[in-house]
Amino acid sequence: METNEYEKYMNETLHRLGLGHWSVCWLPELSSLVRGRAIPKKMLIEIFDVDMDEAWKTLFHEVIEIKLRSTLRPYRLLVNSLIGIIEEIADNEKDVFIETLAPMFNENSRNHNT
């Protein structure tokens, strides 16, 4: 089987797994530090492994990550919301602290001017 045939079969596999809106690009000639990657904005999975067995392992790894990403999205949204709330509380507390310091600086500057 040639590279294009493997890539076609990988894309058919994505379709069977319910990811037909995604596509696979197998780039076995490209030297890379990573074995593969999913690019959500392009709905593209790139596989860099030269060995076909390793390429399939990488494909399934990326498919699992894609599936988990949507599963974990509600938790990511919740955590980001909590971070926003905590930052707001911290900013408010900082502002209150700064306001308590302002009279001290005004008092010190008046004492030094006399």
For residue 111, the model assigns a pLDDT of 65
Q: Which two tokens stand for residue 2?
A: 């040639």
Asked if 54 and 32 touch (Cβ cutoff 8 Å), the reply is no
Walk across the sheet containing 44-47 and list its strands. Answer: 23-26, 44-47, 36-39
Q: Hey, is 15 helix, strand or coil?
A: helix
For the chain, the domains span: 3-113
For residue 55, the model assigns a pLDDT of 94
Q: Give the whole-angstrom CA distance, residue 5 versus residue 97.
A: 66
For residue 3, the model assigns a pLDDT of 61
For residue range 47-73, list pLDDT tens digits in order: 999 999 999 999 999 999 999 988 888
pTM score of the predicted model: 0.64
Asked if 21 and 41 touch (Cβ cutoff 8 Å), the reply is no
Asked if 49 and 61 touch (Cβ cutoff 8 Å), the reply is no
Length of the chain: 114
For residue 69, the model assigns a pLDDT of 87
For residue range 72-112, list pLDDT tens digits in order: 889 989 999 999 999 999 999 999 998 888 777 776 666 66
pLDDT of residue 27 exceeding 80, the answer is yes
Looking at domain 3-113, its CATH architecture is 2-Layer Sandwich (3.30)
